[in-house]
Each structure stands twice: as C-alpha cells, then as structure tokens.
Amino acid sequence: MVIGKPPGQFDWAKDIPCKNITIYGYCKHQDKCAYKHDIGVNAKSSPAVSTTLSTVNNNNNNNNNNNSSTTTTTTSTATATTSHQLNTAAPTFIPSNVSRPTSSSTTTFSTPSSSQTGTLPKKKFNFDSPSFTPNVASNSFNTPPPNPKDVPTFVPNSTEITENNADNHYHSDGKNNVNSTPTVNQVFNFDTPSFTPSFTPNNTVSFANNVHHNPDIPLSPAISHTQPSTTAGTSIVNPYSTGNGLPQNEIFFAQPTTAYPLQYHLYAPVPPPHMQLPLQPNERNAQSLFIPNDLREKLQLKNEASLQVLPHSKLPQLVDVYHSLVPIDQKYEKSARVYGVPSSLYKVCSNIDGNLYALRRLEGVKHINESAIASVKRWQNVKSANVVKLYLAFTNMAFNDNSLFLVYDYYPCSSTLLEAHFQPSGIRKPEIISENILWSYIVQLTNALVAIHEKGLAARTIDLSKVIITNKGRIRLSGCGVLDILNYGEDKKLEELQKIDLENFTKLIFDLAASSIPTRGIDKSQVDIVKLLPFSDNFKNVLIYMISDLSNLTLSKLQSIIAPQIMQTMNDLENANDYIEGQLTRELENSRLVRLMIKLGFINERPGFANDPSWSETGDRYPIKLFRDYVFHQVDENGKAVVDLSHVLSCLNKLDAGIDETILLVSPDEKSCVIASYKKLKEIVDAAFRDLSK
C-alpha cells in the first residue's frame, strides 16, 4: 500500500488494483491509498488484475450452488493491459479430469463462462465480516459432501486388517493387548525405525486466540509414544522353522518386538520448578497439553517390557500354543520355596488370540492327575481386581521334561511385595512402608480373599513373593491355583485351607509393618513389636486383633473392622481413576490427529505430483499445499519461523472435524490466495487420499 504521498510520485500505481480490495473487499486507507479502488464488477473492467475464479461444476449437479466454501483467487500483478478479455497471461484453470471413485464425487474444473464472469457481483471478501458469504454464482470446489460410505477409513495398504475389522482383544482390566497394530508383513509398518515420532514441544503456547476455548474442538496433543504400540493382530506365516511340533506354515500371531530401546531424549524433560516460566491463566505450555512425563514414561516402560523378545534364546519356540518366551524373573533363580518344586515365569504370546500371558512353569512334576488339572477351571470364575486371573493349566514336554504350566494374565513391569519393600534393585532402594500403604494392602487383600473364598477356593499362596504390585498401590494375588494341582487329593478341608489363608495374610501384614522398624535382635512377641510400630493406635489395634484372635478371625469380621479404611481406599481409587481418565481425555484425540498427519504426509510433496495439474496453482489440490504452509510454515514479519504448537493443533483439529470456519490461505509469494472452509479442505484432503489409495 502506498499512502499519503505527494501527487505524481505514485502515478504508476493508479491503474493497479488495490490488493486490499481484492482480498478483503475494502481498503480502509482508500482516501490516501494510491492504488486503484474502482476495480469494477468483473474482470473486463480490471485489466491489470486477472481474477480467475475457479469454478467446479459438479457433473451430477450442475445447478449453481450458492454455499461456496472455497474460492480461489489468483491475482496477477503483471503490467496493465487494455484487454477487455480475461487476461490470458494469468494462470487459467486447467480442467481437472482426475477421476473420482464415485460419480457423485466427480468434479471437473472449468473457467467461468463469459456470462458468469459478466454477472459476477462485486466481491466482498471481507473474511472477518460476519456477513461474509462468498457469492460467486458458481462455486469453487463445490463437490457435494462425500457419501459417508465413500469416505475411506484409513487402511494401511495390503493388509488383511482394517481398523474396523481388526480383532481388538482387550483384556477387560486394561492389561496389555497385542492385537491391533499392523504386523511385519504390512506395508504400513509402525515397527520400522522410521516411525519414531520425535516432536518434543516445549514452547510456551499462548491461548490468546479464542479458538482454543471452543469446547467443540478439543485441543488434542499429537504425539505420545516413542514406541510402536504393543500389539500384533494379524495372522502371519510362522516365522519359526519346524521343530516346534507344528508344520512350517502354521499361522501365528506375531509377537511384536522392540528392536529399538526407549529413547527418552525424544522428549524434553519438564524443567525444574525454578526454571518454569510463570504462565498467565490463558496460557499453556506444551507439557500441559500432553500426558505427564512420569506417567508416559511408566506406560512406555510397560510397552517396552511387553514388546521384549529374545531372538536367539535357547528356550522352546513353542509351549503348547504359546510362543516368544521371555523370562520375567530378573533374578533367573528357580526357587522351590513356595510350591515345593522349582518354578519360573515367562512372558508369552498366545497363538490363539495374540494376547500376552504370564506362563508359570513348574518343573519335574510327574503324575499329574487329569482331574487335578481340570480343577483350575473353578479359578476362571474368580473375578477380582486383586487376583491375577488364571486361565488354564496343562502339561507339556517342550522343555524336555515333565513340566506343569499355568497361564495367567500378564502385567508388565510388576514387582512382588518382597522385591518392592525388601530387596534393593540397582539404584532403587526398597520402598519404605507407610500406614496408608498398609491399610490399602489390607483392604485389597481382603477383597482378593473374599472373592476367592466365595467361590469355594483357597488362595494357598499368600506370600510376599506371590503378591504383585501391578501399578502404584495396586496389588494382586498371583500364582493361585498351583497348589490346587500339586497337592490335589490331600485331605485338608477347605475351611482349614481358608483359615491358613487368613494366617498367612496376617503374617504378611505383620512382616510388612514390622519392616518399618529395625527388629533384628529384638526378642519380643509379635504383639509387643506391633506396639513399637510408628503407626496410629487404630492400625496397631487392628493388627493386634488379627494376631491375637487369629482362631476367631473371619473375613466378614475383618471387613467390618476395616470399613472406614475401605471407604478411604475407595476414595483413593476413585481419585486415581479420575486422574487417569483426565489424562485419557487429554490424549483422546491423539490417534485421530496422527492419522490426519499421516494422511497429509502421504498426500503432500509427492515427487510424482510435480507435474500434476491438480497440484498446480490452479488445481483442485492446491489448497492442501497452501493449508500445509498455513499450518506449519508460517513466518513472522522478520521471516522467522512461527513455531506455535497451539496453532498447529487447533488447525488440525478443525480440519479433522471439517468445520465451516473459513480461512485465508496465501501462497508464500503472496500471489495466490484461497479462501477455504475447513469443511471443504477436509473434502479435498479426503479426495486426494482416496485417489492415492485407489
């Protein structure tokens, strides 16, 4: 704009139409601006500007649609000519004959007919004005909204799975599942090293723009994992050779692998509190948009543990239908202390459903009774949040001996109470026991025992090494059912066994509580030791009651004594649940945005499109290019890249939602601009992707 200059100096500009009029429909400096403002109604009267309106005539719907949502305006600042025709030097629309998947979505481009251009009303491209209604007679990109049936789901090529039909075998309790990611034989392979999202946002993001407060448009973070997800899911040809008892081409559920260790440096650590920038109430930093680092790290470690494989291990390739054995016990010791025979535990992948399980092996077990094995069926009815589910038991010679195997739910990265509270591991010290933790353990173990006893069973393995911590403060009884098989037929009554459960339970709580003080060398009774504990009288009284009245102790009595603590534990669990749900909500849209970005990645900058007219400045795909620039390549007035995470998230969310909001997309050279609605952009992106995946 040339403003307030002495007459004569800017005469050269008087025939050049003002860009403000072209773009916004008005020029607020019209009085002073030297450029031409009487641009006229149509292109004929504005020879210096060739305004080419891209129009799309729908083959199926040739009547003009006034709901234009994309208008391409190509402005040419070429020297003025006196031609009263459309400027032939200006870029013209090349009819795009790109075929569409369905006739309903077929679109062709044509230049506006002279009658159309002759009757074009004066354009009012005031984008900010609420009355903005792109009012060309024939709309750009006025393809009808695609039939929902035609909208392709994002399906990786050449796979047997689609997102919709992939078997999703989720364990009801949210434990690891291996059934929904692409596998090695898929073209679109997340396991490839190239799939390592490394976006590490740590800029402060200002929320000055009110779009971020639109509750309809969830602001969603985009990336959360360094690792591929934990799942397999398609059947693939057995990668193992024969020798496992199965024919070579036996179909397998592949065990996903982690060829690459976790890369923590892909994420910027949260700065220490004294280095954090103070934020205004309307501001957010990148950390607040994503899953908290500690939670993310914990989940990633679990994923990593789930994905771990031992490629050259000497373990059997297959034990019954379970393959990819990885020993879980870090100590690699086989102790016979609890079961009387050496036992070991392996993470395995099932060939039946692709899920991960914990397979317990008991060595050298001879003469297993069929009905003993069948007895574990009753354990399948025990449904408790504090008992590791037992699925089945079987004997197998895969280890070249008579071993008994039991299949349990797998909880990655769990540790036993013994490991957590008594045994240091590496730099980790044993966790100091507190009264709150003890109450929580009492409540959870009571819950486990109630569920087991109700089904006419006894836990029989309440031991510090057989209670596992699967999450912070969450414990589960593991290893149940083994002694039911090994000691099958012994003449102990159920009541007796259940009584022993209560004794072991009391002993376990006492051992944990006593670990809070040095008891070595103290020659005192259990009750005396309890009195020395640094806990409340309430806790000590309950523990003394359990110890001294063991013969009369029942679960229902215990439940009534610890009722207030049950409420407290329930409250804590609800809070934990709320927290996790909050995080889940925050991350909810992640996969949606990742898919969208992948789609855009597929579409944008394909070398094969270099000479494709539909990607040229007048092509129907051009807005995608401009949109990419609008989202990712913005620069400030000094030409410096604008790295604004909230802008990116907001734009991608709007695109994915396909809302009606319009945006002005300007090419980097500022010669072309497009006013497009997100809705229309979404259609164009979908169409481009559809063409690509045909």
Ligand X SMILES: Nc1ncnc2c1ncn2[C@@H]1O[C@H](COP(=O)(O)OP(=O)(O)OP(=O)(O)O)[C@@H](O)[C@H]1O
> Which residues make up the interface to ligand X (CB under 6 A)?
328-329, 335, 337-338, 343, 345, 358, 388, 408-411, 414-416, 419, 465-466, 468, 478-479
Pairing of strands 390-396, 356-362: unpaired
| Smallest separation, CB 287 to ligand X (Å) | 31
* Phi then psi dihedrals of residue 13, to 5 deg: -90, -10
Shorter beta-carbon distance to ligand X: residue 96 or 343: 343
E-assigned strands of 302-364? 318-319, 322-327, 343-350, 356-362
Shorter beta-carbon distance to ligand X: residue 199 or 391: 391
Which pair of tokens denotes residue 233?
């899911």
Q: How far apart are the first and last CA of the chain?
A: 47
**How far, in Å, CA of 606 to CA of 611, rounded?**
10
| Smallest separation, CB 484 to ligand X (Å) | 16
| Smallest separation, CB 178 to ligand X (Å) | 14
Whether 415 has a binding-site annotation, put simply, is yes
Beta bridge partners of residue 285, listed in sequence order: 204
Whether 693 has a binding-site annotation, put simply, is no
Shorter beta-carbon distance to ligand X: residue 328 or 681: 328
**How far, in Å, CA of 539 to CA of 503, rounded?**
18
Which pair of tokens denotes residue 37?
């403002």
Which is nearest to 319 in space by CA: 358, 284, 377? 358
Which is nearest to 67 in space by CA: 114, 20, 136? 136
Whether 669 has a binding-site annotation, put simply, is no
Shorter beta-carbon distance to ligand X: residue 42 or 478: 478
| Smallest separation, CB 333 to ligand X (Å) | 6
Whether 258 has a binding-site annotation, put simply, is no
Shorter beta-carbon distance to ligand X: residue 467 or 663: 467
Shorter beta-carbon distance to ligand X: residue 345 or 676: 345
**How far, in Å, CA of 102 to CA of 106, rounded?**
6
Which pair of tokens denotes residue 270?
């949260």
**How far, in Å, CA of 473 to CA of 439, rounded?**
11
Which pair of tokens denotes residue 151?
């909208």
Whether 15 has a binding-site annotation, put simply, is no
Shorter beta-carbon distance to ligand X: residue 410 or 441: 410
**How far, in Å, CA of 660 to CA of 658, rounded?**
7
**How far, in Å, CA of 619 to CA of 195, rounded?**
31
| Smallest separation, CB 357 to ligand X (Å) | 8
Helix or strand run (H / E) with residue 393: strand 390-396
| Smallest separation, CB 470 to ligand X (Å) | 8
| Smallest separation, CB 411 to ligand X (Å) | 4
| Smallest separation, CB 416 to ligand X (Å) | 5
Q: Are 475 and 387 within 8 A, CB to CB?
A: no
For 331, half-sphere exposure in the C-beta direction (CA atoms, 13 angstrom radius) is 14
Whether 403 has a binding-site annotation, put simply, is no
Place of tokens 């209560």: 502
∠ CA 223-229-230, nearest 5°, is 155
Which pair of tokens denotes residue 269?
């650590």
Whether 412 has a binding-site annotation, put simply, is yes
Whether 409 has a binding-site annotation, put simply, is yes
Whether 320 has a binding-site annotation, put simply, is no
| Smallest separation, CB 327 to ligand X (Å) | 9
Shorter beta-carbon distance to ligand X: residue 58 or 416: 416
Shorter beta-carbon distance to ligand X: residue 133 or 335: 335
Shorter beta-carbon distance to ligand X: residue 320 or 419: 419
Question: In 3-state terms, what secondary structure has residue 140?
Answer: strand
Whether 322 has a binding-site annotation, put simply, is no
Q: How many CB atoms lie within 10 A of CB 603?
A: 22
Which pair of tokens denotes residue 335?
């102790």
Which is nearest to 22 in space by CA: 125, 136, 131, 111? 125
| Smallest separation, CB 467 to ligand X (Å) | 9
Whether 549 has a binding-site annotation, put simply, is no
For 225, half-sphere exposure in the C-beta direction (CA atoms, 13 angstrom radius) is 18
**Residue numbers belonging to the annotated binding site for ATP:** 360, 409-416, 465-466
Please state the residue numbers annotated as binding site: 360, 409-416, 465-466
